[in-house]
Amino acid sequence: MKTKKFTLEDLKKELEKCSSELPKSIIQELEEKLSKIIDRLTKSDVEKVVSEVIRQYKEALVEPGEAVGTVAAQSIGEPGTQMTLRTFHFAGVRELNVTLGLPRLIEVLDAKRTPSTPLMRIELDEKAKYDKAKAEELARKIQHVTVENVASSIDIDFGQQMIYLRLDEELMKDKRVTLDMVINALSKHKIGTVESVTEREEEMPDGKRRKVIEVAVAVPEGLEASKMIKLRQKVLNVKLKGIKGLKRVVVKEVSREGKTYYYLEVEGSNLQGIFNNLDELEGIDPTKVMTNNIHEIAEVLGIEAARTAIINEVMGVLREQGLDVDVRHVMLVADLMTLTGRVRQIGRHGISGEKASVLARAAFEVTTKHLLEAGVKGEEDPLTGVIENVVVGQLIPIGSGMVELRVRHGGE
């Protein structure tokens, strides 16, 4: 006898039966994956798969009264001890490096204001991502270029009250900077008056001759030597083009499914700067501009985006080290760090130092300070948490300790 063919409609009916036991997202994923192999499935196969998924899902559920905080701390802390202290360098790219491993994990969980190696990843839209020339053009537009980046030297003539700026023609070509751009930038910042511009060839230390443009800038009369030196530094820091803070931009390529597309890797971070200049930076996909600066994400995109960034950063570090930690532990940490609407560190200046319980704060660090302050303010401790009950030697409110049993004597 020929068996009836199992169809997509049958699959949907089978999955509907377990809608009370499984969340919608899992049912959708099951439907998506099983529909791809529907030709090879029978009703009993689907029943076996569904019952196994339900079993594993129920095993993964957190029991009421589970010490989720302690489990999360163990699950992240233990693999953290196995991490290697190393900084990963991008192969073939000079100086562009990003902190990974334990130093990066500490940086994220300590909520450092700026990362030790701020980095951005900027993806391009569908039109521009396959065009290397367009990617390079955007990289040049984004890169922050100052006078220092195109100058071979800068000298002060204290007697004549002049600053002599020597511009390297090759560096100017490389950075796409013109002489007019330099002169306009100097006059815009009101540093002094450009007296003269001379061009000449100069012998470099390697013996080669290179064209040099000398710009003589007259500074206001009567300036002291110390102010002249400060003015020299001010000249070097004058912005010529690009977005502040984005020091180096590298065009990276990725080959996938026979196609090569390009994105930008940036040393430095300025999320707001990119968003403010989207009109000029046509070709950038604003939904795929990423930075490793958590505080900047919180300021520009909001606290929920910062929470997601914390989860992604921590999971990225753990996976890169080959450590398998369940994402729910990291999600709990990210929730705690962001629940007040700002990014807080896990430490005495953040979560641990801001706990409602006096004894919990005192048990962590600077015990005397917390106890004295609480005594002066007349604070009370309701003893509702784990730490404070351990301190006073009471039953802790987790697991069976959460249950209160009350007995009524006599009557109904």
Report whether pLDDT(205) > 80: no
Question: Distance between CA 279 and CA 282 in Å, rounded?
Answer: 6
Burial 194-225, CB ≥16 within 10 A → b, else e: beeeeeeeeeeeeeeeeebbbbbbebeeeeee
pLDDT in the model for residue 294:
95
194, 180 contact by CB (below 8 A): no
- Could you read off the pLDDT of 21-55 as tens digits, one per residue? 888 888 888 888 888 888 888 888 888 888 999 99
The CATH architecture one would assign to domain 145-241 is 2-Layer Sandwich (3.30)
- CATH of the structural domain 355-402, one choice from 2.60.120.10, 1.10.150.390, 2.30.30.30, 3.50.50.60: 1.10.150.390
Average pLDDT of span 245-258: 84
Confidence of residue 320 (pLDDT cuts 50, 70, 90): confident
Dihedral angle computed from the Cα positions of residues 372, 378, 380 and 385, in that order, rounded to the nearest 10 degrees = -30
pLDDT in the model for residue 173:
78
pLDDT in the model for residue 236:
79
pLDDT in the model for residue 94:
46
| CA atoms 294, 295, 301, 307: torsion sign | positive
- Could you read off the pLDDT of 342-382 as tens digits, one per residue? 999 998 888 888 888 899 989 888 889 989 999 999 999 98
Share of the chain above pLDDT 90, in %: 19
Range name among 55-59, 119-123, 257-261 with the lowest pLDDT average: 257-261
Range name among 50-54, 162-166, 316-320 with the lowest pLDDT average: 162-166
Report whether pLDDT(4) > 70: no
pLDDT in the model for residue 257:
78
Average pLDDT of span 225-252: 81
Same CATH fold assignment for domains 145-241 and 355-402:
no
Share of the chain above pLDDT 70, in %: 92
The residues spanned by each domain of the chain are 8-60, 145-241, 355-402
288 vs 238: which has the higher pLDDT: 288
165 vs 331: which has the higher pLDDT: 331
Whole-model pTM: value is: 0.77
Report whether pLDDT(188) > 80: no
- At 240, the amino acid letter reads L
- Could you read off the pLDDT of 86-118 as tens digits, one per residue? 555 544 444 466 777 888 888 999 999 888 889
pLDDT in the model for residue 343:
94
Q: What are phi and psi of 49, to 5 degrees?
A: -60, -50
